[in-house]
Amino acid sequence: MSAAESAHEFSMKAIDGKQVDLKQFAGKPVLFVNVASQCGYTPQYKGLESLYRKYKDQGFVIVGIPANNFGSQEPGTNEEIATFCKRNYDVSFPMMSKVDVKGGSMTPLYGYLTKTSGDVKWNFTKFLVGKDGKIMQRFEPGVDPMAAELTSAIEKALK
């Protein structure tokens, strides 16, 4: 388990292989979402992109984190995932390299995100992290990206 006190303490690889230090998001609310290309919730990419475009100019960021932990619904390579997201949903928010979001090889960021709320149960679980990198709220996969409960939480985080 992580002794970290902020999501800003981690780094990950972007989908293109470049190292991303999450402290670059300090001062911005971030929605971390574990994503998959072959899931019943995959169409949420459209809503996530709409959400990102609606709030990005105010400093909001979405970080998509592909994971193949649930029903083998993200079998592709990073390159295939990036192509899928761009071609089908015109995704412009940051995407990380595919990682594990549960189990023994869980990426450290998810150790931090799930420390108090329990394991991620399925694709498209959303964690809203405040400007300080601390977890504000968790939204389960069935919560649509444009749902009022999520947009109001983002608006609160932006204040």
Q: Please tell me which residue in 7, 12, 15, 39 is annotated as part of the active site.
A: 39
Active site residue 85: no
Q: H/E/C letters for each residue in the chain?
A: CCCCCCHHHCEEEECCCCEEEHHHHCCCCEEEEEECCCCCCCCHHHHHHHHHHHHHHHCCEEEEEEECCCCCCCCCCHHHHHHHHHHHHCCCCCEECCEECCCCCECHHHHHHHCCCCCCCCCCCEEEECCCCCEEEEECCCCCCCCHHHHHHHHHHHC
Residues annotated as part of the active site: 39
